[in-house]
């Protein structure tokens, strides 16, 4: 009996060493403690484990931070189980004093993942293998639980308070709710918090990595923002569910691991994906499963139909202004000059675009009117309320002698852009060759999931004025 007990202790010790040495082994051994379903060990799970372990080993060794990890992967890929639930529990087997802050878009989701992580640590198997990891009885909640040697796992929602906590690992798991992905307010709130508040919670700026795991939902979601502003310090992994339609894998060599162009043919079969696409619609599916804010069929604007050329025979012109008033940041003021030629083809002739304060903006609008000439109709979007009315009155006075038409926007941006997109997608719109072409095409490509929509708004307004002529766009309905 004593020999059998000794053998059992030795086996437990050996298994513990194996789990400590390999996060992937730990995940396999402890899967049943949090997930009742039988696991399907697709190749991407080991990839996740190996990448996380590579990041962790540097922290364990006290080595200087090299990069943050960004992973884009579809739902139902066990991402939260591996990243938010299993990983902090495994870290403590090697470094019981480590601190982890784990963030999700909602505190309720962060709490759920926290409870699952704690379930692993209090399980009989974990306590048997790693008896040195002990939780404090006086700090053992769904928001925060700690070890007796100073380790900590803290759960927070985006925008929540994390004052006073500092961590060796920052884990951001689904920072955006897919249902709110088109809200620029929600996106900016998440980006501001992740870029300004969360980094200050590192226990050591030269040690602590940030790990971001999410679905792509918008051109300027946290992944898009991060890759645009600090890609040189990020390791990016992007795994679409299906690459048969051209969805891109990052790094590209991982595409060799796909089976019949599918990331996980058992969990995310082609039949399952087809049903999901019908339920989610083109934009929802593109972000969550293709890991691209642009649907396979293209966005609202099929920019491949926009031909760049030299305009000729323009018979009517209009410049429409979508105004902002932030110098050097925020939304852009955009004035799109559009014309129609004698063949009925629409031309985007010029785009003036900048982030100016009110005085600069009004000066540039007036200067542009002089360059466009008196034969160009001028449209200006009027913001709601008395302040919008006052601003329009000031602009009209400054543009005395020109045909100026205010417009109060109604309906969503997509509805307002619909008529213009029809002409673009029918191949009836051309671009005048200029330096602004690239930024213009990029915005139209991603719309309505683009980081800015000012050029689309201004184009929609200019198109309405040019297509209708100035007779139908009047100020008679405005009460001054």
CATH number for the domain that contains residue 327: 3.30.420.240
- pLDDT for 469 equals 67
Is residue 432 situated within a structural domain?
yes
Rounded to two decimals, what is the model's pTM? 0.73
Q: Which two tokens mark 401? A: 């002698």
Q: Which domain holds residue 313?
A: 303-468
The verdict on 229 and 134 lying in the same domain is: yes
CATH number where 34 lies: 3.40.50
- pLDDT for 475 equals 32
Cβ neighbours of residue 165 under 8 Å, at least 6 residues apart?
99, 101, 144, 152, 154, 201
- Domain final residue, candidates 185, 204, 238: 238
Number of domains within the chain:
2
- pLDDT for 47 equals 98
- pLDDT for 385 equals 59
The verdict on 314 and 231 lying in the same domain is: no
The verdict on 15 and 153 lying in the same domain is: yes
- pLDDT for 114 equals 97
- pLDDT for 471 equals 36
> Per-residue confidence of the chain (480 residues) as pLDDT tens digits?
444 545 555 566 888 999 999 999 999 999 999 998 888 899 999 999 999 999 999 999 999 999 999 999 999 899 999 999 999 999 999 999 999 999 999 999 999 999 999 999 999 999 999 999 999 998 888 999 999 999 999 999 999 888 889 999 999 999 999 888 777 788 889 999 999 999 999 999 999 999 999 999 888 899 999 998 888 999 999 999 999 988 999 999 999 999 999 999 999 999 999 999 988 888 788 889 999 887 766 678 888 899 899 999 999 999 999 998 777 777 899 999 999 999 999 999 999 999 999 899 999 999 999 999 999 999 998 876 555 677 788 888 889 989 999 888 777 788 888 889 999 989 999 999 999 999 999 999 888 878 889 999 999 999 999 998 643 333 332 232
Is residue 278 situated within a structural domain?
no
- pLDDT for 4 equals 52
CB 464 within 8 A of CB 473: yes
The verdict on 53 and 132 lying in the same domain is: yes
Instruction: Give CA–CA dist 168/436, Å, rounded.
Output: 44
- pLDDT for 388 equals 62
Instruction: Give CA–CA dist 317/167, Å, rounded.
Output: 58
- Domain final residue, candidates 238, 254, 269: 238
The verdict on 54 and 203 lying in the same domain is: yes
The verdict on 360 and 452 lying in the same domain is: yes
Burial class (CB in 10 A: 0-12, 13-18, 19+), 46: middle
- Domain final residue, candidates 211, 238, 265: 238
Instruction: Give CA–CA dist 285/449, Å, rounded.
Output: 13
The verdict on 23 and 116 lying in the same domain is: yes
The verdict on 128 and 25 lying in the same domain is: yes
The verdict on 320 and 415 lying in the same domain is: yes
């Amino acid at each position: 009996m004593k020999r059998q007990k000794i053998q059992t202790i030795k086996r437990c010790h050996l298994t513990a060493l194996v789990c400590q040495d390999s996060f992937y082994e730990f995940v396999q051994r402890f899967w049943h403690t949090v997930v009742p379903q039988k696991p399907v060990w697709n190749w991407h799970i080991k990839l996740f484990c190996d990448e996380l372990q590579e990041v962790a080993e540097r922290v364990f060794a006290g080595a200087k931070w090299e990069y943050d990890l960004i992973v884009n992967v579809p739902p139902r890929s066990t991402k939260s189980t591996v990243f938010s639930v299993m990983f902090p529990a495994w870290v403590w087997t090697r470094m019981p004093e480590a601190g982890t802050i784990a963030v999700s878009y909602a505190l309720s989701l962060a709490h759920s993942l926290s409870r699952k992580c704690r379930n692993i640590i209090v399980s009989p198997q974990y306590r048997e293998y790693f008896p040195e990891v002990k939780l404090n009885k006086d700090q053992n909640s769904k928001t925060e639980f700690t070890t007796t040697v100073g380790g900590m796992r803290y759960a927070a929602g985006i925008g929540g308070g994390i004052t006073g906590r500092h961590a060796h690992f920052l884990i951001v798991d689904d920072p955006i709710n897919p249902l709110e992905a088109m809200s620029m307010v929600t996106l900016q709130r998440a980006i501001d918090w992740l870029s300004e508040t969360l980094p200050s919670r590192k226990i050591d700026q030269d040690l602590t990595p940030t790990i971001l795991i999410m679905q792509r939902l918008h051109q300027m979601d946290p992944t898009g923002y991060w890759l645009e502003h600090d890609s040189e310090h990020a390791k990016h992994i992007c795994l679409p569910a299906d690459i048969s339609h051209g969805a891109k894998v990052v790094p590209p060599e991982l595409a060799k691991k796909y089976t019949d162009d599918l990331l996980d043919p058992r969990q995310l079969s082609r039949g399952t994906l087809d049903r999901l696409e019908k339920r989610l619609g083109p934009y929802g599916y593109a972000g969550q499963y293709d890991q691209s804010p642009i649907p396979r069929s293209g966005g609202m604007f099929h920019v491949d139909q926009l031909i760049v050329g030299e305009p000729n025979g323009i018979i009517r012109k209009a410049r429409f202004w979508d105004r902002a008033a932030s110098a050097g940041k925020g939304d852009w003021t955009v004035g799109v000059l559009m014309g129609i030629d004698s063949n009925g083809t629409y031309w985007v002739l010029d785009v003036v675009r900048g982030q100016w304060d009110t005085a600069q903006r009004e000066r540039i609008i007036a200067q542009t009117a002089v360059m466009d000439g008196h034969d160009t109709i001028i449209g200006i979007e009027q913001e709601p309320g008395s302040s919008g009315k006052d601003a329009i009155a000031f602009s009209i006075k400054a543009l005395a002698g020109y045909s100026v038409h205010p417009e109060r926007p109604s309906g969503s941006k997509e509805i307002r852009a619909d008529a213009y997109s029809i002409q673009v997608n029918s191949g009836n719109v051309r671009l005048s060759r200029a330096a602004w072409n690239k930024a213009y095409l990029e915005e139209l490509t991603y719309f309505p999931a683009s980081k800015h929509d000012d050029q689309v708004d201004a184009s929609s307004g200019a198109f309405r004025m040019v297509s209708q002529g100035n007779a139908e766009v009047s100020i008679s309905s405005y009460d001054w």
